[in-house]
């Protein structure tokens, strides 16, 4: 399994020298703690603190939107999981994950590698163009979604119509939704990940690439045997975050559920929307916390599997 300090790109002579030296002087913890201390403070205040509080909230009873702790037992969990909308949100989420995660990862890696095969102005320009959509948010993004997904007025109208979808409801409704959200999500998020993979690829050693050329490798073989393995930790990171992030799908379905601009879609399509509804419409932050913890658990399980399987957290071998 790959681990981080001995990337395949480093020639074997260097590798053995490194492993002999491996980590000797760094057993001194003091400097480590010093360098990491500010981060730990923030981690506690804005990360773990609220997380613990959220767990407490899930066991609290809410009155007037205000919690009384430890009085609810598992009521909030029952409320959240027996809500009639819950099963449908989970099944929607499942469909969405199956479509969005593999496609998202595969396409990002493909595009990053393709771009990297010929570094230069054209690639840089494309990387920029792929990224810009990620900067569109708020009302502008909503306006885009409304108009681009409406076959009557969209530049992609002919494509929708060729697929038999000739009004907004047929594009945004029922079985198309996992794909629509994938399309919007990819539009907004892929560029950033492509840029990250590009950054990762900068670490591939020039010597190794030149050596492989002398050995007769073409661009595709270089990609497959050198670049892709080198990207592995970045790809794993991406898989974990995309998976966990997609579990928390919220923005895209919420945008298309306005009483105004609205597709044929339930107002609580994704589990995170249901959590939001518990929190901000009913004032039941406890049930929202319960649902959120479930989403956290799903993301963590996937992360754990990946991390153990790939040794993502190991340093030296």
Partner 1 sequence: MKRALILLAAVVLAGCSGSTATTGPAVTTAPVATTATGATTAPAATTAAATAAIAGDATAPITVWVDDPRQPAIAAYIKAHPDKASLIKSVTVDREQFPAKVLLFNNTKSGWPDVVFAEPRLVARVADAAHNFPLDLTGLVPADMLANYAGEDNCTFNGKVYCLRNDLAQFVTYYNKPLMDKFGYAVPTTFEELQALSDKVAAEHPGYLLGTFGDGWSFLSFFEASGCPTHVVVDTSTLKIDMTDPTCVRAAKLVDHMIANKTLWNSDYFDASFAKQVNDNKLLVLPMASWGWGLFGGTKDSTWYKTADHQLGVAATLKWKDDAKTNAPALGGAAWTVSSHTKNPALAVDLIEWVTQNPDFWAGSTNFPSYKPLMTGFQKAVAGNALFANDPYPAMAAAASEITPLDNWPRFDLIVPLSNVVKDAAKNKVTIEASLSKVQDAFKPLAEAEGYNVVNK
Partner 2 sequence: MTLRRYVGDLGIVGYIFRLAVLLIFAIYFVVPLVWLVVAPSRSPEDLFHNYNPLSFGSVDRLVQSWNDMLAYQNGEMGLWLGNSVRYVGLSLAGSLAICIPAGYVLAIARFPGRRLFLWLTLIAMILPVSAMVLPTFLELNLVGLVNTQWAVILPAMFFPFGVYLGYIYYGSSLPRELLDAARVDGCSDLGVFWHIALPLAKPLLGLLAFIGFNANWNNFFGPFVMLNDDSLYNLPVGVSTVVNSTSALRPGFNPTPGALHLVQADAAMIGLVMIIPVVIVFIVCMKYVTNGAFTGGVKG
- Binding residues for partner 1, rule: CB under 8 A, are 62-67, 83-85, 137-139, 141-142, 150, 152-153, 167-170, 173-174, 188-189, 241, 245, 248, 250-251, 254-255, 257-262, 264-267, 279-285
Cβ nearer to partner 1, comparing 6 with 302: 302
Q: How many CB atoms lie within 10 A of CB 227?
A: 22
Q: In the complex, what is the shortest distance from the CB of residue 203 to partner 1, in angstroms, rounded to a whole number?
A: 21
Q: In the complex, what is the shortest distance from the CB of residue 264 to partner 1, in angstroms, rounded to a whole number?
A: 4
Residue 83 binding target from partner 2, partner 1, none, CB below 5 to 8 Å by type: partner 1
Residue 4 binding target from partner 2, partner 1, none, CB below 5 to 8 Å by type: partner 2
Q: What is the DSSP letter of 18?
A: H
Cβ nearer to partner 2, comparing 40 with 98: 40
Cβ nearer to partner 2, comparing 153 with 174: 153
Instruction: Compute the distance between CA of residue 205 and CA of residue 3 in angstroms, rounded to an integer.
Output: 17
Residue 17 binding target from partner 1, partner 2, none, CB below 5 to 8 Å by type: partner 2
Cβ nearer to partner 1, comparing 152 with 213: 152
Residue 170 binding target from partner 2, partner 1, none, CB below 5 to 8 Å by type: partner 1
Which whole-number Å values give the CA distances from 261 to 69, 116, 250, in the listed order?
A: 39, 40, 16
Residue 282 binding target from partner 2, partner 1, none, CB below 5 to 8 Å by type: partner 1
Q: b or e along 62-93 (b: 16 or more beta carbons within 10 Å of the residue's beta carbon)?
A: beeeebeeeebeebbbebbeebeebeebbebb
Cβ nearer to partner 1, comparing 165 with 226: 165
Q: In the complex, what is the shortest distance from the CB of residue 300 to partner 2, in angstroms, rounded to a whole number?
A: 7
Residue 306 binding target from partner 1, partner 2, none, CB below 5 to 8 Å by type: none
Contact (CB, 8 A) for 239 and 245: no
Q: In the complex, what is the shortest distance from the CB of residue 20 to partner 1, in angstroms, rounded to a whole number?
A: 38
Q: In the complex, what is the shortest distance from the CB of residue 149 to partner 1, in angstroms, rounded to a whole number?
A: 12
Cβ nearer to partner 2, comparing 42 with 309: 42
**99 CB-near residues (< 8 Å, 6+ apart):** 178, 179, 182
Contact (CB, 8 A) for 275 and 292: yes
Residue 141 backbone zone (phi > 0: left; psi -120 to 50: alpha; other: beta): alpha
Cβ nearer to partner 2, comparing 125 with 174: 125
Q: Minimal CA–CA distance to 306: which of 238, 260, 259, 212?
A: 238
Q: In the complex, what is the shortest distance from the CB of residue 94 to partner 1, in angstroms, rounded to a whole number?
A: 21
Backbone torsions φ then ψ of 264, nearest 5 degrees: -85, 75
Q: In the complex, what is the shortest distance from the CB of residue 209 to partner 1, in angstroms, rounded to a whole number?
A: 30
Contact (CB, 8 A) for 268 and 127: no
Task: Kindly state the greatest CA–CA separation across the chain.
Answer: 73
Q: Minimal CA–CA distance to 252: which of 123, 122, 146?
A: 146
Cβ nearer to partner 1, comparing 86 with 179: 86
Residue 286 binding target from partner 2, partner 1, none, CB below 5 to 8 Å by type: none
């Amino acid at each position: 399994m790959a681990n981080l300090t001995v990337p395949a790109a480093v020639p074997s002579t260097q590798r053995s020298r490194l492993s002999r030296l491996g980590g000797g002087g760094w057993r001194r913890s003091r400097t480590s703690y010093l360098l990491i201390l500010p981060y730990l403070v923030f981690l506690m205040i804005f990360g773990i603190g609220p997380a613990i509080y959220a767990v407490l909230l899930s066991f609290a009873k809410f009155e007037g939107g205000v919690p009384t702790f430890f009085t609810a037992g598992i009521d909030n969990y029952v409320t959240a999981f027996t809500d009639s909308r819950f099963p449908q949100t989970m099944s929607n989420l499942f469909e969405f994950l199956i479509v969005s995660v593999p496609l998202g990862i595969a396409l990002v890696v493909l595009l990053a590698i393709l771009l990297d095969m010929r570094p230069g102005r054209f690639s840089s320009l494309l990387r920029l163009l792929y990224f810009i959509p990620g900067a569109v948010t708020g009302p502008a993004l909503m306006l885009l979604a409304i108009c681009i997904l409406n076959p009557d007025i969209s530049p992609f109208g002919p494509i929708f119509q060729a697929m038999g979808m000739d009004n907004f409801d047929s594009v945004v409704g029922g079985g198309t939704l996992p794909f629509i959200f994938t399309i919007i999500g990819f539009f907004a998020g892929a560029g950033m990940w492509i840029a990250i993979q590009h950054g990762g690829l900068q670490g591939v050693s020039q010597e190794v690439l030149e050596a492989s050329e002398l050995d007769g490798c073409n661009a595709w073989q270089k990609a497959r045997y050198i670049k892709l393995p080198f990207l592995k930790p970045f790809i794993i990171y991406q898989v974990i975050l995309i998976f966990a992030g997609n579990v928390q799908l919220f923005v895209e379905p919420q945008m298309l559920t306005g009483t105004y601009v609205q597709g044929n879609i339930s107002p609580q399509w994704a589990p995170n929307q249901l959590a939001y509804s518990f929190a901000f419409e009913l004032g039941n932050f406890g049930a929202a916390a319960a649902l959120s913890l479930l989403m956290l658990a799903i993301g963590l399980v996937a992360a754990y599997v990946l991390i153990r399987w790939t040794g993502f957290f190991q340093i030296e071998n």
